[in-house]
Amino acid sequence: MNNNNPTSHQTRFGLLPSDWSCLSLGDLVHDVSYGSSSKSAKVGNVPVLRMGNMQDGFLDWNDLVYTSDAVEISKYELKKNTVLFNRTNTVDLVGKAAIYRGERPAIYAGYLIKINNKPELLNSEYLNYVLNTNQIKSYNKLILSVAVSQANINGQKLKTYPIPVPPHIDEQTAIASALSDVDTLLTELEKLIAKKQAIKTASMQQLLTGKTRLPQFATYTEGADEGKRKGTKSSELGKIPEDWDVEKIGSVVSITTGSRNTQDKLSSGKYPFFVRSQTIERIDTYSFDGEAVLTAGDGVGTGKIFHYINGKFDYHQRVYLMHNFGDRIDGYYFYIYFSNFFYDRIMSMTAKSSVDSVRREMIADMLITLPSKEEQVATATILSDMDNEIQTLEQRLTKTRQIKQGMMQQLLTGRTRLPLKKHETEQDGGS
């Protein structure tokens, strides 16, 4: 890469190298065209891509609808490496652009615009990256029309978009290729994280129900049954290992709520303050110091949001605090079990109505399986290690996304130039 850029000029897209142009999109395309307005269904021959399938630069192939209309398919069938643009929806969703890479035959719906670029002037992958820059997102908001809650950018306005154009089409291709390599890395990381998540979920279901035992706990280690595989028994929670117990949560942990005098303070403080479904900082001193699991008693996230903490913190009166873990239960094992089974159990207790609030007795009466504490710790350690591995991968994913954003800003503004092969520049006069 070459960061030398001695001369530049100001354009509608921003500061560009002196040998780059800034042209309106309309000068670089044959035309732009609206998609199909025919009805689609959950079954059919060909997917109809909609605004919901548009992400930042790529297509999400989940939640598809289909058509079997031969006329519509013939008229709106997409060609590989076609850029699509979302022309209407909320202010935040209008202007999303993505490239169709020929993943499978598809047509596009009426709220999308297909950009038919002139390939000798504009590389479609390069265009896709340009349309997802911060500069273009700002331009979206500048020119969109808003009626009530619906925003719109029509084809004519789309043609006014400022596009930075390097002097050689090969430079566009090189930029697109470099960014595509990062996208490939992001995709592989996302797949790996999804795989690790699936393994963790399956492992939790097996280990927390005793369907799979860790080797050191699966067989008897002494007495007449030494070496014999442990059996199962019936319980209120179904079949469980014969050496496990089932207890009510209220009999193995303490359950309390915060003081009614607690005041929500959004100032920066020393200790975390748990208030319903959020974590904010509190200026007051803490009211608890130790190992605990917390869940919201009402509001957004009721029955679904949980925290594990071992330290000093304060908490709101409508947050339930479970603590005082003794010889029979490990705190982190309880957190993993509770956060995985609590919501479904609560829903069953409320006759499948929505959970507006949780009463203390709902928690206290919930049943939990109890292996030996030694097995609980071993299980929690394995699952925690899996979680830490996933978190490390997610941090790497976040960092790679940040790197990509930085590369886009550098490459698509010419601040950093990629070296081109000598014969490529010589073909254009050796400039």
Q: pTM of the prediction? A: 0.81
| Class of the CATH domain delimited by 1-20+166-223+373-431 | mainly alpha
Each domain of the chain, given as residue ranges in start order, spans 1-20+166-223+373-431, 22-164, 245-370
3-class secondary structure for the chain?
CECCCCCEEEECCEEEECCCEEEEHHHCEEEEEECECCCCECCCCEEEECHHHECCECECCCCCEEECCHHHHHHHECCCCEEEEECEECCCCCCCEEEECCCCCCEEECCEEEEEECCCCCCHHHHHHHCCCHHHHHHHHHHCEEECCEEECCHHHHCCCEEEECCCHHHHHHHHHHHHHHHHHHHHHHHHHHHHHHHHHHHHHHHHHCCCCCHHHHECCCCCCCCCECCEECCCCCCEECCCEEEEHHHCCEEEECCCCCCCCCCCCCEEEEECCEEEEECCCCCEEEEEEEEECECCCCCCCEEEEEEEEEECCCEEEEECCCCCCCHHHHHHHHHHHHHHHHHHHCCCCCCCECCHHHHHCCEEEECCHHHHHHHHHHHHHHHHHHHHHHHHHHHHHHHHHHHHHHHCCCCCECCCCHHHHHCCCCC
pLDDT digit string (tens) for the chain, length 431 residues: 666 555 899 999 999 999 999 999 999 999 999 999 988 999 999 999 999 999 989 999 999 999 999 999 999 999 999 999 999 888 878 999 999 999 999 999 999 999 999 999 999 999 999 999 999 999 998 898 876 668 899 999 999 999 999 999 999 999 999 999 999 999 999 999 999 999 999 999 999 999 999 999 999 988 888 889 999 999 999 999 999 999 999 999 999 876 544 444 444 445 565 544 444 444 333 478 899 998 877 665 667 778 899 988 777 767 888 999 999 999 999 999 999 998 887 777 654 455 557 888 889 999 999 999 999 999 999 999 999 999 999 999 999 999 999 999 999 999 999 988 764 545 454 44
- Whether 22-164 shares its CATH topology with 245-370 is answered yes
CATH of domain 245-370: 3.90.220.20
For 22-164, which CATH superfamily applies?
DNA methylase specificity domains (3.90.220.20)
